[in-house]
Amino acid sequence: MSTFIVAGLLLVLLGLAYQLGWSKSRALSTPQGVRVHSRGQYHGALVALWTLVPAVLVLGVWAFFSPGVTHWYTVSQIPADVLASLDQVGLNQQMQRIRDLASGFGVTGELRTFEEAAGQNLARFQLLSFLIMLAAAAGLGVLGLTFARRRINPRLRARNEVERAISWGLIACSAVAILTTMGIVASLVTEAFRFFTYINPLDFFFGTVWAPKFSSTGAGDAGQYGLLPLLTGTLMISAIAMLVAVPVGLMTAIYLNQYAHANLRKVVKPIIEILAGIPTIVYGFFALVTVGPFLRDFGNTIGLSISATSALTAGLVMGVMIIPFISSLSDDILNQVPRTLRDGAYGLGATQSETIRNVLLPAALPGIVGAFLLAVSRAIGETMIVVLAAGNAPILRGNPLEPVSTITVSIVNQLTGDTDFTGPQSLVAFALGLTLFIMTLCLNIVALYIVRRFREQYE
Amino acid sequence: MDMLAGKVKMTAQTVDAAMNAAINPAANLAQLVDRPIRLTARDVTVHYGAKQALHGISIDIPDRAVTAFIGPSGCGKSTFLRCINRMNDTIEGARVGGTILLDGENIYDPDLDVVELRARVGMVFQKPNPFPKSIYDNVAYGARIHGLARNKTDLDEIVVSSLRKAGLFEEVKDRLNEPGTGLSGGQQQRLCIARAIAVGPEVILMDEPCSALDPIATAIIEELIDELRENYTIVIVTHSMQQAARVSQRTAFFHLGNLIEQGVTEDIFTNPVNKQTQDYIMGRIG
Amino acid sequence: MTDTTLSAAERRKLVRDGLARRHLNERLFRTFGIVAICLALGFVALLFTDVLRKGIPAFTQSNLHLEVTFDPELLKIDAAPVRAAGQSDADFRSARLGWERQVAMLNWNTIIEAGLRDAAPAGFEIESRQLLTISESDARHRIRQLFVNDPDLLGQTISVDLLASANTDNWIKGNINRDLGDAQQQLSAPARALIDIFEQDGTITQGFAWSLFTNVDSRSAPASAGLLGALMGTFWMMLIVIVLAVPIGVGSAIYLEEFAPKSRLTDLIEVNINNLAAVPSIVFGLLGAAVFINWFRLPLSAPLAGGLVLTLMTLPTIIIATRAALKGVSPALRQAALGMGASRTQMVFHHVLPVTFPSILTATIIGVAQAMGETAPLLLIGMNAFVASVPGTPIEQATALPVQIYLWQGNENRNFFEARTSAAILVLLGFMITLNAIAIFLRSRLEKRA
């Protein structure tokens, strides 16, 4: 209810301000034929800005402080002797009763003497503070309005001022991306640092056993947090994924780019790109219920013991997920190799495949390496497929047919449903996240640098 | 086919005379009397999709001489050049009609291997396009894919002699393993010529080989073309009439996809028959 | 002919000799390409047929048509309270709650049991507990709710459609091996026999599984578990993503592309954004857990926190795409606008931005589709909690469509939930394909106009 009043008030003020600014500007220009620097809209917009900013500031301050102030006032309405007799739960109940009385909803049971007065006082206080806030917002807004309107004269550079305001707004937008990175780094580093106060970083980075114990199972022993089993699992799955994705993705890109007829390309490319749009949870489910059992049965028929959830299952399906990533990046890169190079090879009598293998691919190599690195970074950061299909067995071993665990799986396991961040059990997620972030960051920076250099080479 | 083949069996002289009689009766035949015909094109058309780029081109190109194609940009001269080693095959939607005979063999014969054809008809492009490999590997590439060298010594010999013929050897002999893309524009273009020569082609097609070069580099290349004429049949597309006059013995003028006039270079420039050729040479069109 | 040792004829012979081998290589290479494409297409086909095959049966469900009697003998209950004059809100509510508690205490299963016995052939021997396994365990809540809504039903007989239990549904659809012994069967022998009878006489029929879309998640009653809560959770999150990510992303792209001075700082921002686009999604989840939940104390499991995390994830996509679109606007248009005396801001907002609008729209749709399918970061901010309600605001507990899939695939009742999960996946894929189709359509429209 009050939200609507505030929003309505703001809208009315805004419209009024714009109109007033605009009409004053018009009044200046029409009769006297004076050359006004800026057009009416800009004067209107400038006045509206001057009105809106102070009003919104007041609202923001109020929104920030009012819950605390109301809380303090409600407590102050409870007599000291009653207050002394209440514990935290009792206090909350008492305050709820007062609030219910104030809102007119009423309470069950007997009314205590102070409660009725307190309810009335609170209702009055709420109304008053709301009205004061409203008046302050409106007053400051009107003040801003009059000030801005008084400033209007033919030489006022209203357009420039409005544009400056716009560009500040745009700068604020750009800051979000930077703040995000800073937020990621800050939160990962601080929480990981807290983790390292429990666990020696050397034991984390070079430990070979991953066996976190949950705090409920016994205080004191926090368990072991060795990264290596997770790291090998991650790398094994990524390697399998790349073994699937690189040949298939690259050959697909080459065929579509160099051999396929335009019509075939038009049909096949979007179909393969569908693979890129499928959510990873779907791949995970597919791996778990279809690919895993198939591999196990297949292993049985050829006398090989393959677990249904294993590095192989997760890696295969992840490879499929990465195919469109490799193929569309490679396609872009092949397109950037100048046609004259291909012509040069054809002109010497090279066959198409010779041209591709000897000229096109070497020329595109840096770009393809960049794409490859980006794909690796994506593979090691992928979560849902491995959560469902890798088997969650954080044991250091080299057999891809057995279940493994990865960094991302352990992050999910350690942090899901637990956000108090008190012990190493949950804080380790941030140490793992930091490791993952640094790994992918290095890959990304190198890859993006290579790709950028490659583009510049042929621009 | 038989009829065409028969035509090729005619002496070069008669063909040349017949052509010149039809188009330019005043041509000075003496200059080209001893040159047999290497390439014969009859009624060649090219379509890109629905658009027709060439309208029935017929021309004879003599051996060991330089033939220049001139004309305003977009006139089809490069398109026709690319028909001669079937480079148009690599463009999607391009269709070529008519016949082109190389030593009496139809190069558009479905049984003909385009790879083999291109080994015989080399090409140098407008923009120097060395492969991103070393200078040595650039020149050796053609010989390698075609299996022309039995061993490393053979290959070295082919590379060195090709570079020498392209007049580049002295400049690059100490850095054969450096990337070809590190050379200057003119050197790159000579590298591309060396690369084409290394395959041992019989015909060399040059598509505005100097358009991306400065005047000094252009002069060097022109000199080189003049030397290569001793051993190769050269067809050069150029937008510069001066260049055509300097390096070619025969000239063909293209306009809007048609071959307007062809003949001995001197005659075309001094005494053009066709009004459009006149206009072009006088600088009124193009 | 030349000074090399080979003559032209020798050379031609050498070239010819190599041709067969080279053409074989060419064909092999080409075949590799075709094989790769077939593999890629095969994966698409396999994935879709697999999900469709598993999911489509879940769109139909077994319904139980029963005549139930609100028998006063079985339902011993006072009349519902009526609001007295002068009674406060709180007092009436407490009286009403007291009555509802009484209603809830009644054993509503007796009503359903009676209805099932009536439907069964006369003299059919079956225990009560076995009989009740035929209907879904939450059927009693439905009957109760009917009564709470209309207390006048007492003594009346009405016909209702109830959901058959998950086991019943599986039995009818043939997902359970009928040859297994009693020990391995979820349903008792009489129950199985009665289900077959019911199916014959039309007491149980198959209908479209509306409950999938109109119900919230349920653990105790798998057959009535639905996606409504998850759909609403996803809706709130996408609303937040669109409201925040689009203006911020487009604004940021405009600043970087059109206004920012080319300096080290902007270079750094560009590298930063490109990197952000490649940061694993789970890292954004960690950010959300640490910053939004732990520092800002936003409510756990709420679409608000989820929406903010997904917004931050989607931003780089929108920024990069918008910048690419802005880069693609021809300099001629800019010069024309500036030449007419427009300021930089006017040029951007009046001329450049309208031209790029379709690309920005396309990028937004693709970004939103991506965010819609994202699961991992939501797990870290508690959105995998079991929520059996529809979130009415973005700060209520909720889950999301992909997270619901994650939760369902882990359900112990694998036999039933494998199909339900596949159906949920189909719903999710349906959204994604629709969104992407819209994006492709817009892109092709744009290309036609340009």
Q: Is A342 on the interface with B (CB under 8 A)?
A: yes
Q: What is the pLDDT of residues A52-71, one digit of tens each?
A: 888 888 888 887 788 788 88
Check residue B67 and give its pLDDT: 94
Highest mean pLDDT: which range of A1-10, B3-12, B186-195, C129-138: B186-195
Check residue C447 and give its pLDDT: 64
Give chain A positions within 8 Å (CB) of B122. 347-348
CA distances from C226 to C215, C223, C405, C408, C434 (A): 4, 8, 11, 10, 21
CA trace torsion C402, C405, C410, C411 (10° rounding): 140
> What 3 state SS string does B174-238 have?
HHCCCEHHHCCHHHHHHHHHHHHHHCCCCEEEEECCCCCCCHHHHHHHHHHHHHHCCCCEEEEEC
Place of tokens 């392209």: B166
Contact assignment for B231 to C1 by CB distance below 8 Å: yes
Task: List residues bridging with B253 in a β-sheet.
Answer: B70, B261
Evaluate whether residue B85 is within a structural domain.
Answer: yes
Residue B47 has pLDDT above 70, yes or no: yes
Contact assignment for B132 to A343 by CB distance below 8 Å: no
- Which of A370 and C219 is assigned the larger pLDDT? A370
Of A344, A346, A362, the CB nearest to B192: A344
Mutate which of A348, A358, A365 to test chain B, going by most B C-beta atoms within 10 A? A348
Check residue B241 and give its pLDDT: 87
Check residue B30 and give its pLDDT: 43
Q: Say which DSSP state C390 is in.
A: -
Residue B32 has pLDDT above 80, yes or no: no
Check residue B9 and give its pLDDT: 41
Q: What is the pLDDT of residues B66-110, one digit of tens each?
A: 999 999 888 889 999 999 999 988 888 889 999 999 988 899 988
Check residue B4 and give its pLDDT: 42
Percent of chain A whose predicted confidence (pLDDT) is above 70: 95
Evaluate whether residue B222 is within a structural domain.
Answer: yes
Check residue A459 and give its pLDDT: 59
Return residues 201-230 of B near A (CB < 8 Å).
205
Average pLDDT, chain A: 86
**DSSP H helices in C57-108:** 89-105
Task: List residues bridging with B134 in a β-sheet.
Answer: B179
Q: What is the pLDDT of residues C177-200, one digit of tens each?
A: 888 888 788 888 888 889 888 988
Evaluate whether residue B286 is within a structural domain.
Answer: no
Of B146, B158, B200, the CB nearest to C18: B146
Tell me the Ramachandran region of residue A30: left when phi exceeds 0, alpha when psi lies from -120 to 50, beta otherwise. Answer: alpha
- Tell me how far the alpha carbon of residue A80 is from its chain's centroid: 48
Q: What is the pLDDT of residues A404-426, one digit of tens each?
A: 999 999 999 888 755 567 778 88
Give chain C positions within 8 Å (CB) of B105. none
Q: What is the pLDDT of residues A205-251, one digit of tens each?
A: 998 888 887 654 445 567 888 999 999 999 999 999 999 999 999 99
Check residue C82 and give its pLDDT: 79
The band of A27, judged by pLDDT with boundaries at 50, 70 and 90, is confident
Contact assignment for C4 to B157 by CB distance below 8 Å: yes
Of C32, C272, C282, the CB nearest to A178: C272
Average pLDDT, chain B: 85
Q: Is A346 on the interface with B (CB under 8 A)?
A: yes
Which candidate, B46, B29, B41, B221, places its Cα nearest to that of B121?
Answer: B41
Contact assignment for A359 to B87 by CB distance below 8 Å: no
Residue B6 has pLDDT above 50, yes or no: no
Contact assignment for B116 to C2 by CB distance below 8 Å: no
Check residue B244 and give its pLDDT: 92
- Which of A317 and A110 is assigned the larger pLDDT? A317
Q: What is the ipTM of this complex?
A: 0.88
Q: What is the CATH number of the domain that holds B136?
A: 3.40.50.300
Evaluate whether residue B145 is within a structural domain.
Answer: yes
Q: Is A309 on the interface with C (CB under 8 A)?
A: no
**Count of CB atoms within 10 A of residue A286's CB?**
27
Q: Is B125 on the interface with A (CB under 8 A)?
A: yes
Going from the N-terminus, what domains does chain A have, and what CATH number goes with each? Answer: 2-156 (no CATH), 210-458 (1.10.3720.10)
Contact assignment for C15 to B231 by CB distance below 8 Å: no
**Count of CB atoms within 10 A of residue C72's CB?**
10
Check residue A384 and give its pLDDT: 93
**A221: exposed, middle or buried (C-beta count within 10 Å: 0-12, 13-18, 19+)?**
exposed
Place of tokens 């931003």: C315
Which candidate, B98, B88, B91, places its Cα nearest to that of B39?
Answer: B98
Check residue C449 and give its pLDDT: 62
Of A106, A281, A440, the CB nearest to C405: A281
Contact assignment for A347 to B122 by CB distance below 8 Å: yes
CA trace torsion C305, C308, C314, C319 (10° rounding): -170
Task: Domain ranges for chain C, please list them.
Answer: 8-56, 60-209, 228-449
Contact assignment for B231 to C19 by CB distance below 8 Å: no
Give chain A positions within 8 Å (CB) of C39. 248
pLDDT < 50: residue spans in chain C: 1-4
Contact assignment for B199 to A345 by CB distance below 8 Å: no
Contact assignment for B145 to A349 by CB distance below 8 Å: yes
Contact assignment for B123 to A340 by CB distance below 8 Å: no
Check residue C372 and give its pLDDT: 93
Average pLDDT over residues A144-158: 81
Return residues 60-79 of C near A (CB < 8 Å).
none
- A231 vs A217: CA distance, rounded Å: 26
Average pLDDT over residues A292-298: 93
Average pLDDT over residues A165-187: 91
Which candidate, B184, B181, B189, places its Cα nearest to that of B128?
Answer: B189
Check residue C286 and give its pLDDT: 93
Instruction: Tell me the residue range of the domain where B125 lies.
Output: 2-281
Check residue B54 and give its pLDDT: 92
Of B116, B131, B195, the CB nearest to A341: B131
The band of B286, judged by pLDDT with boundaries at 50, 70 and 90, is low
Residue C284 three-state SS: helix
Q: Residue B88's closest chain A neighbor by CA?
A: A343
Give chain C positions within 8 Å (CB) of A408. 280, 282, 376
Domain count, chain B: 1
Give chain C positions within 8 Å (CB) of A377. 278, 280
Contact assignment for B116 to C19 by CB distance below 8 Å: yes
Return residues 61-100 of B near C (CB < 8 Å).
none
Asked if C368 and C241 count as a contact pair (C-beta separation under 8 A), the reply is yes
Chain B neighbors (3+ CB pairs < 8 Å): A, C
Give chain A positions within 8 Å (CB) of C45. none
Q: Is B116 on the interface with C (CB under 8 A)?
A: yes
Q: Residue B113's closest chain C neighbor by CA?
A: C19
Distance in Å from the first CA to the final CA of chain B: 38
Q: Is A88 on the interface with B (CB under 8 A)?
A: no
Check residue C394 and give its pLDDT: 81
Of A176, A183, A388, the CB nearest to C287: A183
Asked if B233 and B85 count as a contact pair (C-beta separation under 8 A), the reply is no
Sign of CA dihedral C148, C151, C153, C154: positive
Which candidate, B262, B202, B237, places its Cα nearest to that of B83?
Answer: B237
Of C90, C254, C376, the CB nearest to A100: C90
Q: Is B116 on the interface with A (CB under 8 A)?
A: yes
The band of A84, judged by pLDDT with boundaries at 50, 70 and 90, is confident
Residue A334 has pLDDT above 70, yes or no: yes
Chain A neighbors (3+ CB pairs < 8 Å): B, C
CATH of domain C228-449: 1.10.3720.10
Check residue B35 and give its pLDDT: 76
Asked if C298 and C292 count as a contact pair (C-beta separation under 8 A), the reply is yes
- B285 vs B282: CA distance, rounded Å: 8
